[in-house]
Amino acid sequence: MDRVDVSALVDRAEAAPSTVSLDAAVAALRADDTDRRAAGTAVFSAVAGGDPDRVGHYLSLLAPRLDDGAVAVRTNATHVFGAVAKSDPARVGDHLDALITCLDDPSDVVRRNASYAVGEVAKTEPGLVGACLSRLAPRLSDRQGRVRANVALAFRCVADCELAHVTSHVDALAGRLDDENATVRRNALVALASVAERHPARVKSHIDAVEARLDDPVERVRTAAQAAVAPLTTTGTKVYHPDRTADELHE
């Protein structure tokens, strides 16, 4: 398939993804030309957005593109894995190592896509992700809020089912309790609450940071803080009295 043909296939995939033959785009994934690889992965990305199950069978062919030299190719490839992870996380779990490597990508979008896929896998395969938490932990302080939120979600999911993997990362989670992103704060608190229920001594040293979130401007964060504080103290609960207007933060 030449460049003109694959470009036309991209246009068709964006306009009517259900009519596109993915087999026709496979050759472009292995092309020497960067533009053709970008176009080939763009076809899969467009189709995955509406019908991820169709694309799931091609993940092994897309996996090498996760570390492609072109950011556009990596962006498209990680988007595909994220879309498939939402509907078929077990299939994406087979490529977890490569996705976690993508969390060190210089592109914010690539890291965001990859972290989303990892978070989705963690929901149903917490043990698989739990074994990799040491590699995920540095991304709790990623400069991109959605990356931090997705990684914190992975910790939260693992803490719910595979707590032993999380206990050594209490300090890193506590360090995100003042994050500017409310979803990060909430996910970190839920993970800490799971630890506190079984191992309160592990969280006790961070009780001041946890209690501070009882006055968080976002209700769902305050609720998570209450659950985390409960196993740590019997001294009562603070009452939230807002002295300013605060919009809820979003991912």
Confidence of residue 15 (pLDDT cuts 50, 70, 90): confident
Q: In the block, which residue shows the tokens 């050759």?
A: 27
CB hemisphere CA count around 41 (13 angstroms): 30
State the average pLDDT for the chain: 91
Q: What pLDDT, in 10s, does the model give residues 57-93?
A: 999 999 999 999 999 999 999 999 999 999 999 999 9
Predicted pLDDT at 203: 96
Tell me which residue of 47, 70, 69 sits closest to 58, measured CA to CA: 47
Residues 6+ apart with CB under 8 A from 41: 29, 62, 65, 72, 73, 76, 77, 80
What torsion, rounded to 10 degrees, do the Cα atoms 114, 117, 119, 122 define?
-130
Q: What pLDDT, in 10s, does the model give residues 187-202?
A: 999 999 999 999 999 9
Residue 195 is encoded by which pair of tokens?
């630890």
CATH class given for the domain over 1-124: mainly alpha
**pLDDT, mean of residues 213-227:** 97
Q: In the block, which residue shows the tokens 């990060």?
A: 184
**pLDDT, mean of residues 151-166:** 96
Residues 6+ apart with CB under 8 A from 26: 40, 58, 61
